[in-house]
Structure 1
Amino acid sequence: MKVYSKRELAMLYFPGVTPKAATNRLAGWIKRSEELSRQLAEAGYKPANKLFTVRQLKIIFAYLGEP
């Protein structure tokens, strides 16, 4: 597994929209799940981060499934 930028990952989940819209949608999914947000924060994630670490990606995939 590799490190993904927030934009890269968002485009994998939402391929039919602009990068900005995809990033906003992914951020919305994360915000709506308190448990996902909590676990990501524990793994060092902050909304201003541009990259997801491998650990953070594993958490995201556990909640949202792989894109």
Structure 2
Amino acid sequence: MEEEHKFIIRTYSKAELAHLYNPDMPLVSAMRKLRQWIRRNKQLSSALAEAGENKRDHSYPPLQVRLITRYLGEP
């Protein structure tokens, strides 16, 4: 029986969150894939920009994680 893990909204490094969404991919590829999903989802991209996302940041604060999970679902 598989144990169910509840996703917690908190600050995640971009690498950590990308790996949660793409656990079977190498880290760099997982990060590239998550960024691609975000870019292709115009509503999510806009919402993250309004929430102060900067591509130079190394982490997503809880507000941005909440937006990502709203548009992409939980990892």
Identity value in percent: 42
CA distance in 2 between partners of 1:40 and 1:61 (Å): 12
Moved over 2 A (4+): none
Equivalence map 1:52-63=2 (5 Å)? 52-63=60-71
Q: What is the match of residue 39 of structure 1?
A: 47
Q: Taking structure 2 as the reference length, what is the TM-score of the superposition? A: 0.86
CA distance in 2 between partners of 1:25 and 1:33 (Å): 12
Larger Rg belongs to: 2
* Number of equivalenced pairs: 67
**Aligned residue identity for 2:19:** M
Question: Which one has a larger percent helix, Structure 1 or Structure 2?
Answer: 1
1:14 deviation in Å? 0.3
Q: Taking structure 1 as the reference length, what is the TM-score of the superposition? A: 0.95
Equivalence map 1:14-53=2 (5 Å)? 14-53=22-61
- Tell me how large the CA RMSD over aligned residues is: 0.7
